[in-house]
């Protein structure tokens, strides 16, 4: 796990370890983390692939504005992972294109 454990100015609080499943792999996360923070701590940098060119995308703005970090979470596509907190047992998948529900709605 790649995580900042000590900082010269900020205090790093410990939190309960929980488990999330990402693309079929069970990973550790800390309660209170955003999905994006948990993924980055586990070395995952690609969160989705674009619809047209299938290019990888990951965390960009970190404030829920750009949608580069969207993923499928518990079967729901287009979840902004940078502003959504993890919860124990959450199932997350790398999103391909625009996400399933958009295509079904068309």
Per-residue pLDDT of the chain (106 residues; tens, 9 = 90+): 676 676 677 677 778 999 999 999 999 999 999 999 999 999 999 999 999 999 999 999 999 999 999 999 999 999 999 999 999 999 999 999 888 654 444 3
Identify the pLDDT of residue 99.
Answer: 82
In the block, which residue shows the tokens 């960009």? 60
Spell out the residues 6+ positions from residue 71 whose beta carbon is closer than 8 angstroms to its own: 35, 47, 48, 77, 79, 81, 92, 93, 94, 95
What residues does 71 pair with on adjacent strands? 79
């Amino acid at each position: 796990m790649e995580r900042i454990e000590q900082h010269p100015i900020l205090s790093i609080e410990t939190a309960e370890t929980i488990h999330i499943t990402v693309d079929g792999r069970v990973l550790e996360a800390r309660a209170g983390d955003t999905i994006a923070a948990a993924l980055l701590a586990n070395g995952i940098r690609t969160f989705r692939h674009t619809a047209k060119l299938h290019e990888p995308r990951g965390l960009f703005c970190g404030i829920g504005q750009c949608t580069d970090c969207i993923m499928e979470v518990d079967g729901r596509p287009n979840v902004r992972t940078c502003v959504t907190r993890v919860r124990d047992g959450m199932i997350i998948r790398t999103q391909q294109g625009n996400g399933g529900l958009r295509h079904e709605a068309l």
